[in-house]
Amino acid sequence: MERLYDIFSFVATDRMVFNRLDFWLFFLGFLMVFSLLQKHQLVRSIFITIVSLFLYYKTSGLFVLLLGLSIVFNFGLGKWIHTVASTKKQKWIIACSVIFNIFFLAYFKYAYFFTESYNELFHTKYAIVNWFAQTGNGFFGEGFFETKILLPAGVSFFTFQSISYVVDIYRKEIKPVRNLFDYAFYVTYFPHVIMGPIVRARDFIPQIYQPFSLTKNEFSSAIVLVVKGLIKKIVLADYIAVHFIDKVVDAPEAYPGFVSILAMWGYSLQIYGDFSGYTDIAIGISRMMGFELLPNFNSPYKANSVADFWRRWHKSLGSWLKDYLYIPLGGNKSGGIGTYIATTFIFIFLFFILQWYALIYIYLGLTLLLIIPFFRKFLHRDLNLLITMVVGGLWHGASENFVIWGAMNGAALIFYNYWKKISPYENKTWWIVHFWKLFITFNFITFTRIWFRLDGENEPMQLLNHVWNHFDFKWETFVTVLTTYQAVFWIMLAGFIVHWLPEKIKNYWEQAFAKLPIVVQAISVAVILFLVYQAVSDTFKPFVYFQF
């Protein structure tokens, strides 16, 4: 009873996430009530909104007020832009939406980063002041709000969704929702609000007004997704992270350099299992409720190029950046004032904030090349692509390492655009060529993730220096490492094999499960989950994308 009280009380906890039992006890109670209300569209929207806000409060406390402010403001902008006939006024409304949403994202996510960088550059000692907390404490009493600026859960996701709602109305891809509750339902929908996937208004809002429908096959596929997601998170991600990757990354000097390479290969598997496991569960529980979220991953390590990888990895973010940043900048075809402003802004950011002074030569060189018509078209496309990937890097976190990570992926995409035109192997179907392209792509992505995984400014280079100077590969040492971490490497091997299996084999087993009687399905799931939870360690690992 005490545990149930903690679950349903207004007490903040870190246990209301998909890989904890508390969430599933709560979700079971939710489904019981939902089954009684699902026939009434408005009542269903209100109920899911209340539950979603409650769950957000459980994980983020009073930041639920920020989420509520965002809902009211963007709902009003959506109504307003639909009634305005002037295209010029509509664009001003879009600008208002972008400024409002990006302001909150920048304030809560990047305030310390920009202030510390400014202080370092100009030798000042400006301190961060949380004006929102001070104002709130003036009304409610000292200590009511935390004065340190904390990152609201899911702020990177719901700000992007809010922008897409207003823009999609402007593009006439959707009409405004009927009422505030329907819009709040779209933004706060608990399967995705904290860690995604980023749900586009045009994809989700029409479903709000559809009657509830759930076939046996859909229910079975939902169960498969949930179980698959839990396996990815608990076994594939958490086990290898706790028992191998974290140990090596936290103290690489204690191991030969080649072990760090094995750890980074494992990290690529870990982050895939962690994030795709979350989205599998989100899609699965959403399907149980009669709503469809678009897939966010498509076997990314089957990619044979960097471009192919980014079509398969975190598809909702890639699609959002393409439609709301890359194409408005000009995409593949052109560049305009937006491209030049964004390029200059990023240059100023890298030059002054990160103090990459050598970039002045690159910037001047690009400026000269843009004068020449022959180079202008290609440079526009390349700059648009690089801007998009740098913004994507910054979206993940406020640090120099994320900027480098995004810039490296952007540079690789630019390089591939030129290479594929002259490569003699681009259209070859030989298995050795396919294997080689897959191998190069996977290792490049893994290499860039050194900057994604490590927090410190110099940590990535320190790790690379250690690998280079202390590689020390010896067969005896390699066997010792395999023996010491035997269970980890078996799981890694199984994870890669299953990942690279043909889709028709995976679909066959899912379809076979769907044909089983409900009782057999229930027993099978119970046995699988019992075995899966034997891999749970004492160290709780939150989902990686919870910090974004």
Catalytic residues: 396
Give dist(CA 423, CA 119) in Å, integer. Answer: 47
What CA–CA distance (Å, rounded) separates 305 from 444?
Answer: 10
Show the DSSP H helices in 313-430 as ranges. 315-321, 327-329, 337-348, 359-371, 373-396, 400-422
Long-range contacts (CB closer than 8 Å, 24 or more residues apart) made by 293-299: 293/191, 293/192, 293/197, 293/199, 293/204, 294/197, 294/199, 294/200, 294/203, 296/196, 296/197, 297/272, 299/499, 299/500, 299/503
Per the document, the length of the chain is 548
Give the list of residues 6+ apart from residue 519 with CB closer than 8 angstroms, or none. Answer: none
Name which of 496, 513, 501 is nearest 236 in CA terms: 496
How would you class 290 by CB atoms within 10 Å of its CB: exposed for 0-12, middle for 13-18, buried for 19 or more?
Answer: middle
Integer Cα distance of 480 and 65 in angstroms: 54
d(CA 173, CA 168): 5
Is the torsion defined by CA of 153, 156, 162, 164 positive or negative?
A: negative
Q: Please tell me the distance from the alpha carbon of residue 189 to that of residue 380, in angstroms, as a whole number.
A: 38
CA 459 to chain centre: 23
Distance separating alpha carbons of residues 284 and 291, to the nearest angstrom: 9
For 58-114, the three-class secondary structure string (H helix, E strand, C coil) is: HHHHHHHHHHHHHHHHHHHHHHHHHHCCCHHHHHHHHHHHHHHHHHHHHHHHHHHHH
CA 300 to chain centre: 14
Contacts of 450 by beta carbon, 8 Å cutoff, 6+ apart: 264, 460, 463, 464
The half-sphere exposure of 323 on its side-chain side, counting CA atoms within 13 A, is 19
- What's the rounded Cα separation, in Å, for the pair 119 and 127? 9
